[in-house]
Every structure is written in C-alpha cells, then in structure tokens.
C-alpha cells in the first residue's frame, strides 16, 4: 500500500493511502456532499482543474459503468468523454464493487486516465476546513513534489469546449444553438429526447451565421469573466428576440452580457440537495449544483429580475427578462446526478421557441 499526501496552500499536510494513478497533481480543493453519482461528477467538465473531496464516507462500492458505450453520439453513462477532476479525496475506498451496470473498479478507471486518488483521510475535517476557510489550493503528492496550481487563472472553458461544430438529431423542426462551455452530456440528451436539433458550437464560435430558433448557453468551469468572446456574442443576441436559456455558467455569462457582475463564492455549491425558491412564489425545488462563482443580482440591469434564489445563503440562482423570452438558472435541471424536479425548464424553453415561431399562442 503506497502512501501519498494531501498538502494545502497554508502548509497543512494530511497523509493517506494511494489509489488510482500514483502521481502528483495540483488544483483547487473543493468538496461535494452528494451521496451518489460519482461517475457523473468526475466526468462533469465544471470540475476541470479541481481536487474533489467526497463527503460521503464510502466511495467505489458500485464501480464505474462503461465509458465506451455510445447512444445518439453521446457517452451513455458519463457526462463527458473523460475524467475532468485533477484528483479525488475519499474517506473509505471500496476496491470491490457490485452493481448491474458496474464495468470496472473506480481505482482502475482513475489509473487508466492518470488521475490520483487518496483515501483513509478524515474528509469531515477537510470539509470543515474548506467551509470555514473557503476553497483553497492544494496538491496530492506521490513521489515528486510539484508547485501549487490555481485553475481559476486559466481559461478552463477553452480547454473543455469542443473545437468544431457538431449536430445532433439533424433535420428536426426546432433548431437550437448550444454554446459549449463544458456542457454535460445529459443536457444534450434532454434536448434530443424532446425532438430538438442541437447545433453544438465552441465557446468562441460566431453562431450569427447559422439558422436557429433558440439559443442555449451551457455549464462550464472557472471564472466567467474569462469568456470574453462568448460575452460579446451574447450581447448581440440580447438585442434580438429569439428565446435564450442558460444553465450554471450560462447563467453567469448571460448576466455579464446584460451588464451585471459576478463574484467568487467562499466554498461554492457542489451537491444534489441545494434548495432554491422561485421568485414571487413559495415554490421550492431541490436542485443539483456545481459552481464556484455566482451572479450578483443586487444590481441587475434594467429589464431583468431575479428568477430563483438559494434558500441556504440567499445567492442568485437564476434571472429572467421582464419582457423578452430570456431566462437562466444557476442549478442543473438536467441533474445527472441529482433530483429532476426542475427538468420542466427544458419544456418551458421549447414552448418559448414555439411561441417565437408562431406555433403556440
């Protein structure tokens, strides 16, 4: 059994056991309180550059599904085509697994993709540290020491976005542009199963030359202000009337394009049980979330209003335009993993497109 160390930027060092790849890696240390769905979380591009601490005590006991099975041009059981985290920290790693869809051990999967893991550490104490002090830089050290790395200084969206236009469900009557800032596969699935043609474009692509009925802006990693090209393109789209829908980073980018500002949360929202309330109602939804930045809705531009708010800390969970068919949410209505209480938002977006096309009154 090989030993590794988790080293924080303040010098605190925690020793544990290695699983996955026996290499050193650095990134931002964050915690995730989800009880299930680690294959989904590990392949979520929003985790790019981060060392993920799982608060659930047992990880690995249901293995990992096949990463090569493809349905409708999309990985069937993953949220992207590779593991996105820089490293994984767990309390107890189960090397044995039992699940109808289990294909391989978690440790084997991590090793194959050159991702280090550490177990046998007190993840409760680590989470408490992050909650009290905020997310911090850290590194998993195997044999060789490395420098700390701050992923928020890099344009992570450019690293995870696809490089050329890709279409799904070609020939469908409704066509949407999907700006890929690190989109999760299940967002594409949610559109495809609703009979929509998805035109997936890179984050910095000029989509104004394409024919489409609605615009969607995806989730993604890092600081939203680094997506300058996307923001400039969105400013042009906001002068038009075609329906717009954004999720997670998409919420922040639309807000920035409209004239609002963003800020970094102390330790982010990364879980499957974040409660949000719809503005002007008492309707509460339990949502899946994964983000380290938030939109400041205290000074929204004219014509915009808060759509959803977080019931834990009061931060903005979505905005909408008062007159035009534009709305965004900070949470993940597509889930994977997590609750599907808000998947109806995809239907609302499609209905707005039908109204725009004159198919609905």
Catalytic residue numbers, as ranges: 248, 332, 334
Contact by Cβ (8 Å): 203, 233: no
Contact by Cβ (8 Å): 219, 289: no
CA 59 – CA 38 distance, rounded (Å) = 8
Neighbouring CB atoms inside 10 A of 100's CB total: 6
220 is in an annotated binding site: yes
222 is in an annotated binding site: yes
245 is in an annotated binding site: no
Neighbouring CB atoms inside 10 A of 70's CB total: 11
For CA atoms 153, 156, 157, 162, give the dihedral sign.
Answer: positive
16 is in an annotated binding site: no
Residue from 81, 351, 190, 206 nearest 198 by CA: 190
182 is in an annotated binding site: no
293 is in an annotated binding site: yes
Size (the chain), residues: 361
330 is in an annotated binding site: no
Query: 3-state class of 247 per DSSP?
Result: strand
Vertex 334: Cα angle to 331 and 339 (nearest 5): 75
327 is in an annotated binding site: no
Vertex 179: Cα angle to 176 and 181 (nearest 5): 150
| Residue list for the binding site | 46, 220, 222, 249, 252, 290, 292-293
| Residue list for the binding site for L-glutamine | 46, 220, 222, 249, 252, 290, 292-293
């Amino acid at each position: 059994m090989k030993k590794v160390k988790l080293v924080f930027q303040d010098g605190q060092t925690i020793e544990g056991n290695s699983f996955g790849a026996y290499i050193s890696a650095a990134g931002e240390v964050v915690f995730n309180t989800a009880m299930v769905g680690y294959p989904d979380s590990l392949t979520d591009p929003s985790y790019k550059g981060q060392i993920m601490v799982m608060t659930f005590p047992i990880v690995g006991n249901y293995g990992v599904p096949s990463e090569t099975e493809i349905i409708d041009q999309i990985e069937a059981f993953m949220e992207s085509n590779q593991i996105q985290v820089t490293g994984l920290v767990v309390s107890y790693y189960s090397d044995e697994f039992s699940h109808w869809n289990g294909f391989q051990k978690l440790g084997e999967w991590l090793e194959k993709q050159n991702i280090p893991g550490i177990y046998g550490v007190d993840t409760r104490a680590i989470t408490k540290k992050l909650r009290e002090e905020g997310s911090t830089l850290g590194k998993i050290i195997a044999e060789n020491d490395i420098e700390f790395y701050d992923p928020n200084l890099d344009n992570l969206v450019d690293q995870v976005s696809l490089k050329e236009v890709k279409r799904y469900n070609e020939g469908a009557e409704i066509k949407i542009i999907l700006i890929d800032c690190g989109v999760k596969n299940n967002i594409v699935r949610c559109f495809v199963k609703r009979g929509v043609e998805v035109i997936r474009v890179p984050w910095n692509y000029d989509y104004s030359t394409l024919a489409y009925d609605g615009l969607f802006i995806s989730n993604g990693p890092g600081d939203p202000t680094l997506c300058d090209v996307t923001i400039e393109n969105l400013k042009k789209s906001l002068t038009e009337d075609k329906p717009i829908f954004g999720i997670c980073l998409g919420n922040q980018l639309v807000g920035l394009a409209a004239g609002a500002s963003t800020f970094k949360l102390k330790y982010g929202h990364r879980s499957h049980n974040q409660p949000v309330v719809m503005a002007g109602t008492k309707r509460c939804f339990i949502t899946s979330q994964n983000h380290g930045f938030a939109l400041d809705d205290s000074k929204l531009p004219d014509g915009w209003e808060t759509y959803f708010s977080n019931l834990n800390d009061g931060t903005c969970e979505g905005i909408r335009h008062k007159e035009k068919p534009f709305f965004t949410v900070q949470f993940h209505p597509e889930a994977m993993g997590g609750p599907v209480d808000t998947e109806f938002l995809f239907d609302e977006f499609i209905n707005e497109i039908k109204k725009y096309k004159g198919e609905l009154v």
